[in-house]
Amino acid sequence: MGVEVRVEGLTKSFGSQNIWSDVTLTLPPGEISVLLGPSGTGKSVFLKSLVGLLKPERGSIVIKDTDIVRTSEHRLYEVRKLFGVLFQDGALFGSMNLFDNIAFPLREHTRKSESDIRWIVLEKMDMVGLQGAEGKLPGEISGGMRKRAGLARALVLDPEIILFDEPDSGLDPVRVAYLNQLIVDLNAQIDATFLIVTHDIGTARTVPDNLGLLFRRHLAMFGPREQLLTSQEPVVRQFLNGRREGPIGMSEEKDVAQVEAEMAALEARGGDQHNGVGPKGASGGDAVPPQLEPSPGLPERQAQRRRQERVARMLHEFDPATAQAIRASLPEDLLAQADAGVFAPTPLAGGRHWAAESAPAGGAAVLPGPRGRS
Amino acid sequence: MTDGEKPKAPGLLDGKLSPLRPLRASGNLFAFALDVARSLPRRPFQFREFVQQTWFVASVTILPTALVAIPFGAVIALQLGSLTRQLGAESFTGSASVLAVLREASPIVTALLIAGAGGSAICADLGARKIRDEIDAMEVLGISPIQRLVVPRVLAAMVVATLLNGLVSVVGVAGGYFFNVVLQGGTPGAYLASFGALAQVEDFWSGEVKALVFGLIAGIVASYKGLNAGGGPKGVGDAVNQSVVITFLLLFAVNFVMTAVYFQLVPPKGQ
Ligand SMILES: Nc1ncnc2c1ncn2[C@@H]1O[C@H](COP(=O)(O)OP(=O)(O)OP(=O)(O)O)[C@@H](O)[C@H]1O
Ligand SMILES: [Mg+2]
């Protein structure tokens, strides 16, 4: 099963330039989470912090009882073996061909025979649609191919936590659709914890269990996908609808008067529902589209039931629209339990926004409330 | 968020004038050197990478070194040719030029080339990998870039530096002979006969030791700067530039110290 990643109060600066502060979130084990945010808000920096490549000044990142921020170099190398990371540009080794690139982790960390390695590498290359390109050098292939090769390399060691930095950038829409399906299928097969950074709203709406948005040096919101998809928060709505009207500007933040004027003009035109289609799969309104299912023939995602139990316990904490959307995704038995008041409301606890694994499922346990929006 | 921890806007001179900056920078460099030393005995030794890098550094330095060494030897020969004539010590021309080449010219030429050609190539290579996230990817795959990439490069720079020093010595002495005998009309016999009058074998070995240290410093500085490159292709350019300048400064300073120590340890001939 995937590994839980618990981030608390994380703050990162370069010199005097603060990138983000006080980021608190938990990636539930085995679930798929998507992190959104305007360019330059430090999403890549966040991913690099998770694998210990950058050291945040404050806060903690706990994975399997190890705090990545403060652990020893030696232990860090151990924990990193849990990770598969797809960097923004693939980060392939320029001096090796694709086959050697993908075989690299196997040759370094396993004692597999060369024929086993060959078999695994070819299988992964097939999976990402790169068959026949084994002998090519990274400099000789397109950006989209580099990305897929990077993905194949991230997958060869069967990681328990997989981080993607913009897996869809540089890919055509059909490839993105295949890639999204691949992500969901992978999740069903290996039950790893996924965190995807993306600018593709279509992906953000349909793939993840959880959604988060980084904005103005803070985590503006993080929670079950329904929470963001139905959110009335101006920033979230602007981002998910891919429009200019709203608090996010081209480079600087906008002043309040301008934002209000823009929003009024938008309302006059009929609001998001009538605003047509935005870029990158952004479509009008706050509908919650159905989540992508694993391909036929694959097992059900194990995280699915865990997540349903988790959000059922949190049901009372959301506003009506979100609760409505979540209820629509829950099976009968959990709904019945929730309505019977089995999941008793509890006061906010410790900044956690989802129930801990150890809480007895179905019991009237003391459950932590959601992280309040600050 | 309270007002107290409001993020400050980055200022132009942020900490750039702090007296601690040079201290911190040299501390980091030294810590990096220690990391390299610690990774040195770690297995498996990257033999392939070492051979490839030796070949690579040699290929970018040998030709320029030979081309620099010839005029260097010639200048020394010309200077000494006229100087010895003025002093009436023509019989020492050959010996003095060998001495000058072995003791000073070849370490200096080696330093220039190993920093300017070898170091810059290493720094550019590592810097390009750094900004393409290759280094990060390697660390995430649980492999130490220092053990994997830096150690073989530093060793390669050391090996090539000693070879270059030998090359400069030979080419410099040959160039001196050519200019003195062929162009200035010196007598071949006298030139060759005086070879051993002033110079001694220790001079050659001291040059080799210097070269070894130069290679070490050039390799470490170039790798350090390369691995810390940031900010896109321009960052790599800046890193290469800084690495060459820093290496030059360090090498000339170290050369002075080592020469001073040498004269304490090895008394000049005839005393
Ligand atoms: N090593 C570094 N040193 C100094 N500043 C850095 C470093 N890495 C990133 N930054 C700064 O951190 C900020 C966030 O960068 P980051 O690459 O994380 O953005 P991002 O959210 O991933 O953007 P995008 O969506 O365009 O990829 C930028 O302002 C960048 O200049
Ligand atoms: Mg990024």
Residue nearest to atom 25 of ligand 1 (CA): A39
Q: Are A15 and A193 in contact (CB under 8 A)?
A: no
Provide, as residue numbers in chain B, all residues whose Cβ is less than 8 Å from the Cβ of A161.
Answer: none
Q: Which residue of chain B comes nearest to A102, CA vs CA?
A: B141
Q: Worst-scoring range by mean pLDDT, A232-246, B2-16, B44-58, B195-209? A: B2-16
pLDDT tier at B271, thresholds 50, 70, 90: low
Tell me the residue type at A371: R
Q: How many residues does chain B have?
A: 271
- Interface confidence, given as ipTM, is 0.76
How far apart are the C-alpha atoms of A315 and B28, rounded to whole Å? Answer: 52
Three-state SS at A183: helix
For A10-49, b where at least 16 C-beta lie within 10 A, e where not — what string?
bbbbeeeebbbbbbbbbbbbbbbbbbbbbeebbbbbbbbb
Walk me through the domains of chain A, giving residue ranges and CATH numbers: 5-223 (3.40.50.300)
Please state the pTM of the whole predicted model.
0.81
Tell me the residue type at A20: W
CA of A1 to the centre of ligand 1 (A): 32
Q: Are B216 and B157 in contact (CB under 8 A)?
A: yes
CB atoms B141 and A108 under 8 Å: yes
Find, among A350, A51, A187, the residue nearest to B138 by Cα: A51
From chain B residues 92-151, the ones with a CB under 8 A of any chain A CB are 128-129, 132-134, 136-144
Q: Is A139 on the interface with B (CB under 8 A)?
A: no
pLDDT at B270: 63
CA of A281 to the centre of ligand 1 (A): 24
Which ligand 1 atom is nearest residue A43's CA?
Answer: 21
Mean pLDDT in consecutive groups of 10 residues from the start of chain A, 374 residues: 89 90 92 92 92 91 91 87 88 90 90 92 88 88 86 90 88 86 89 92 91 90 89 84 80 77 80 72 74 87 87 83 84 81 56 42 40 42
CB atoms within 10 A of CB A351: 17
User: Does position B9 have pLDDT exceeding 60, yes or no?
Assistant: no
Q: pLDDT by residue (tens digit) across B179-222?
A: 877 777 777 777 777 777 777 788 888 889 999 999 999 999 99
Q: Is A40 in the pocket of ligand 1 (CB under 6 A)?
A: yes
CA of A42 to the centre of ligand 2 (A): 7
Backbone CA torsion sign across B210, B211, B214, B215: negative
Q: Is A83 on the interface with B (CB under 8 A)?
A: yes
Backbone CA torsion sign across A95, A100, A104, A108: negative
pLDDT at A368: 42
Structure tokens at B85: 């004539």
How far apart are the C-alpha atoms of B135 and B146, rounded to whole Å? Answer: 10
Domain residue limits, chain B: 62-261
Three-state SS at A365: coil
pLDDT tier at B127, thresholds 50, 70, 90: very high
User: Does position B3 have pLDDT exceeding 50, yes or no?
Assistant: no
**What is the bridge-based pairing of β-strands A5-14 and A58-63?**
antiparallel
pLDDT at B13: 59
Find, among B57, B223, B36, B46, the residue nearest to B152 by Cα: B46
Find, among B63, B70, B106, the residue nearest to B214 by Cα: B106
Write the DSSP assignment of A217-229 as a string of letters: TEEEEEEEHHHHH
CB atoms B141 and A80 under 8 Å: yes
CB atoms A15 and B15 under 8 Å: yes
pLDDT at A110: 86
Q: Which residue of chain B comes nearest to A108, CA vs CA?
A: B143
Q: Which residue has the higher pLDDT, B17 or B166?
A: B166
| DSSP β-bridge partners for residue A164 | A86, A196
Residue A32 φ then ψ, to 5°: -100, 125
Residue nearest to atom 28 of ligand 1 (CA): A40
Three-state SS at A271: coil
CA of B75 to the centre of ligand 1 (A): 52
User: Does position B42 have pLDDT exceeding 70, yes or no?
Assistant: yes
CB atoms within 10 A of CB A187: 26
| DSSP β-bridge partners for residue A85 | A163
Average pLDDT of chain B?
Answer: 85
